[in-house]
């Protein structure tokens, strides 16, 4: 198996691969193979340094490219920047042009059978009652009044960058401007943020330019959380989606946010996403199809979870498993407050936190900026809270579900045709007890693998 790793050279590529093998997710393999794990893995995995935003995936060594074109028959593309507030040029280069570069590379593989591309379920119109497993087409934006031209977007990005550079701005100022520009362009065409917009354009390019004799499978997961069972329950890396808000709530730093109790909170454990990918590859391994096969991998069609229920689970867990404040005291949390509009949230924040902040500012003036650091820190946190509310707003009032007819048919095929071990490769969200999963698996996993390590 060839694994493309973004790195400057072969040495740093190998180092990054070793860092991957050292992660908690490989603990069971380490227990089994011990000191031989690295040699075992390197026999099976060939690390290749490159970058999917570049031509030929940034693979400079021609001999390596030739070898890959000769040997590869399946390509799995999971490379992406998932930051909702990423620079537009970076997100476009990886999520949009990167998808096209992977397709171009796949065309050169003489034994190529299948390209499996991991996207996101949120590429579609979230205002529809039912989000279907249908492909996205070139030129069609959610805002039907405007036609989307991806080639023109590339030129718009270059023009914007040139304008910013001509203003002699710092790199930090350019980064902020390009982040804001990405969200502006996304909302112009009807998408909520740069991430889902650039992923949508990536799908459009794949749909437009795929060859008829190459099978294209697109996996669209919803919000991915910690593992359900494999390789062990609760593994997660980094704070995903709303986890940052929930951890801040547990720490007593946030007690309010935007949203509605009955919002459909469509989440899926990470191992179920991986299982769906593997079953799809086996199920379609010998097919040649002109059509694109799309799978929504989520929970809203089979096992609905609401935002209100998720917050209740967080309250139950962090009320018992309390954080400790800097002064050594146990953090006691209150029930989470939800506000249905940004103005309502803003008014509450201004009353609850803004007035004390103004008093602190006045004290600062009187005492010669004695508490300036505290004031700046608190003011920054309030601004971050409101910024997060703006970013997450489109996802906090979803009342619709993601159709998973294709995914359910895949589950049926796995069971009826004995494609793979049903238990080991399970990806049926109906089996999840949300109460048990969040309180006994997800939150403990979050604390162990993310929060404790970060601290």
Active site (catalytic) residues:
195, 199
E strand or H helix that includes residue 102: helix 97-107
Q: How far apart are CA 89 and CA 93, in angstroms?
A: 6
- What's the per-residue H, E or C state across 210-251? CCCCCEEEEEEECEEECCCCCCCCCCCCCCCCCHHHHHHHHC
Give the pairing type, strands 215-221 and 130-131.
Answer: unpaired
421: tokens are 């071990």
Report the Cα–Cα distance between both ends of the chain, in Å, rounded: 35
Alpha carbons 251 and 310: distance in angstroms, whole number: 17
Separation of alpha carbons 331 and 318, rounded Å? 9
Pairing of strands 292-297, 46-50: unpaired
Q: Are 242 and 392 in contact (CB under 8 A)?
A: yes
What is the pairing mode between strands 256-258 and 401-402? unpaired
* Phi, psi (deg, nearest 5) at residue 399: -115, 0
d(CA 183, CA 195): 9
d(CA 251, CA 77): 36
Q: Compute how many other C-beta atoms are within 10 angstroms of the C-beta atom of residue 85.
A: 17
d(CA 289, CA 163): 45
Rounded Cα gap, residues 194 and 84, in angstroms:
6
Structure tokens given for 184 = 């502006």
User: How wide is the angle at C-alpha 73 spanned by C-alphas 79 and 49, nearest 5°?
Assistant: 40
- Determine what percent of the chain falls in helix, strand and coil, rounding each to the nearest 5: 55, 10, 35
Using DSSP, state whether 259 is helix, strand or coil: coil
DSSP 306: B
Question: How many other β-carbons are positioned within 10 Å of the β-carbon of residue 4?
Answer: 22
Phi and psi at 115, nearest 5°, equal -115, 120
């Amino acid at each position: 198996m060839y694994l493309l790793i973004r790195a400057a050279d072969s040495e740093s590529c190998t180092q990054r691969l070793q860092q991957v093998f050292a992660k908690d997710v490989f603990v069971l393999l380490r227990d089994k193979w011990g000191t031989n794990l690295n040699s075992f893995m390197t026999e099976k995995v060939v690390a290749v340094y490159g970058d999917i935003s570049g031509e030929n995936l940034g693979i400079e060594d021609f001999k390596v490219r030739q070898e890959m074109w000769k040997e590869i028959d399946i390509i799995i593309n999971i490379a992406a920047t998932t930051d909702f507030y990423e620079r537009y040029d970076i997100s476009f280069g990886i999520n949009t042009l990167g998808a096209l570069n992977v397709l171009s590379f796949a065309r050169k593989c003489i034994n190529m059978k299948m390209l499996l591309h991991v996207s996101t379920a949120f590429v579609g119109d979230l205002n529809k009652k039912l989000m279907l497993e249908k492909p996205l087409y070139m030129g069609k934006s959610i805002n039907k009044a405007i036609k989307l031209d991806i080639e023109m977007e590339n030129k718009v990005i270059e023009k914007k960058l040139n304008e910013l550079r001509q203003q002699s701005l710092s790199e930090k100022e350019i980064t902020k401007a390009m982040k804001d520009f990405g969200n502006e362009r996304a909302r112009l065409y009807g998408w909520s943020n740069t991430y889902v917009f650039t992923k949508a354009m990536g799908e459009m390019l794949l749909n437009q330019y795929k060859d008829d004799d190459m099978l294209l499978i697109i996996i669209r997961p919803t919000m991915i959380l910690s593992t359900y069972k494999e390789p062990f329950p609760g593994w997660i890396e980094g704070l995903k989606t709303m986890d940052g808000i929930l951890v801040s709530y547990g720490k007593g730093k946030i007690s309010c946010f935007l949203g509605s109790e009955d919002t459909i909170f469509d989440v899926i454990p990470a191992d179920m996403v991986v299982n769906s990918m593997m079953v799809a590859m086996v199920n379609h391994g010998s097919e040649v199809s002109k059509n694109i096969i799309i799978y929504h991998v989520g929970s809203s069609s089979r096992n609905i979870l609401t935002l209100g229920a998720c917050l209740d689970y967080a309250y139950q867990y962090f009320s018992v498993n309390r954080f400790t404040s800097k002064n050594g005291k146990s953090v006691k949390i209150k029930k989470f407050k939800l506000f249905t509009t940004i103005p309502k949230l803003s008014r509450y924040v201004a009353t609850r936190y803004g007035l004390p902040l103004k008093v602190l500012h006045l004290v600062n003036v009187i005492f010669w900026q004695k508490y300036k650091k505290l004031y700046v820190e608190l003011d920054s946190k309030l601004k971050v809270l409101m910024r997060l509310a703006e970013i997450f707003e489109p996802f906090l009032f979803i009342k619709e579900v993601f159709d998973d007819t294709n995914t359910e048919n895949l589950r049926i095929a796995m069971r009826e045709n004995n494609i793979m071990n049903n238990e080991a490769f399970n990806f049926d969200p109906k089996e999840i007890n949300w109460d048990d999963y969040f309180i006994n698996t997800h939150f403990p996993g979050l604390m162990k693998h993310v929060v404790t390590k970060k601290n």
